[in-house]
Chains A and B, each alone.
Chain A
């Protein structure tokens, strides 16, 4: 791609981590959007920094061509990066790695405020990083592994099959396990604490989201077609009615996209949405770098953390 320069960066406590920095080309190729803003792209599961279907390379180059530097890198122990070798657990190592990525960009004078992009476990990591590092002013997260059910989502899940004639046929002929499916759904909802009694996880997510809103961290919440337990556009807002997410959050649904964006049209749509959001956020933040607040100290809880090697796929049962 023209007007983009790429450089290998080795960084981390002992140079264990590997990333590629994409920058706008030479002067004259177009103005930089914001002199102190960069995008950082995190691994999707254990796929290396190139991303599923080379999505991260394309996104980084497209953002850089538009004027925003972009770093894609491998978390410790993934792709070309080595594990840090300390006593920390996987999540702690990942947080150290992510902060090291921000540090290296800051030290090199590339940026001191960051937007972080991640798909699946990368989305979870982006959220965690935003909670612990005040330099993060926005996150674009695709299909995070944690979604929070609402009554409407559960209803849509239960009623979904009613739109399919073969389900009625199986129901009439007694071959449809309707009641066991309802029971399983109800149990699953209760287990996740999403119906009437907020679980610890839900309370914690509410607190974290409230702090992000308080810091005016922008969220671009992106959901693909399978959507797992995410059933309708406003589900995030409905799950946290007491948090003023509408002020900071943009929700986009890609109804035809699979989780890893294997189709060109979906990758282009994603690049367009993220590019537009980066643009908006850069404009919005211009001149307000002194207003970055203190980040919440997030307790790193392995139970609530994404499994480092896990890439979640949309729940196929979403369409039953």
Chain B
């Protein structure tokens, strides 16, 4: 396992590579959530990465620009840039693993980012969209961001100061971001029954949809002041990819 920076010297992205004990059977790129969801879900994604590397996968976790340990301020956040960051990270994973064909797993907004990145990448076999955000407008309203707020130059959202352009991008997030694209198989994994009943989720050939009711890993559990690890959901992702 190793932590490292990659990308151009002026715009370095933070990555953490989990390597298996023996020879690699596959490579998995994990696309994280954003904002407070990012900080609370860190444990769950770390746990997933460890479980996958235990099954022979080389796994790369990384932070988008303007988030986590990566280059940039929160006001630099940009969904299009994050898709490009994801393609860059995929290249790093390929170089590190020596494998051409990869799988992508995205959690919350990371699900949409991963799906968008697939369109720019060759050789992605499978895609897991995990508790995807399917309605950015509703998400922002739920976080107290009104339509009028995006008239300001910057807006505070989920513990971050972001540009109004970013808010507009976020507001436009919809189920159409989750197109299966060119991947062979896609798993839509939902842990919240209300989202399962409400959200318009991808369907069709090659798409499997599953509800496994579990704690929301991206929400702060007050007794531990961070997100819980949804062990069954993580286990299902590992099994599906193995």
Contacts and interface: CB of A to CB of B under 8 A. Distances in A.
B39 A53 contact: yes
Contacts, number: 64
B176 interface: no
A10 interface: yes
B225 A310 contact: yes
Main secondary structure of the interface of B (DSSP, over half): mixed
Contact of B39 (A8, A52, A264): A52
B5 A53 contact: no
Nearest to B15: A8
B31 to A, nearest CB: 17
Interface residues of B, number: 24
A83 interface: no
A311 interface: yes
B226 interface: yes
Contacts of A58: 73
A54 B160 contact: yes
A46 interface: yes
Main secondary structure of the interface of A (DSSP, over half): loop
B69 A57 contact: yes
A1 B76 CA distance: 11
A20 B36 CA distance: 21
19 contacts: A6-B5, A6-B12, A7-B5, A20-B14, A20-B69, A45-B226, A46-B225, A46-B226, A47-B225, A49-B69, A50-B42, A50-B68, A53-B39, A53-B159, A53-B160, A54-B67, A54-B159, A58-B73, A263-B156
Interface of A: 1, 6-8, 10, 18, 20, 45-50, 52-54, 57-58, 79-80, 260, 262-264, 309-311, 313
Interface of B: 2-5, 12, 14, 16, 36, 39, 42-43, 46, 67-69, 73-74, 156, 159-161, 224-226
Given A47-B226, A54-B67, A263-B156, 18 more contacts: A6-B12, A6-B69, A46-B224, A46-B225, A47-B225, A50-B42, A50-B68, A50-B69, A52-B159, A53-B36, A53-B160, A54-B39, A57-B68, A79-B46, A80-B3, A80-B16, A260-B159, A264-B156
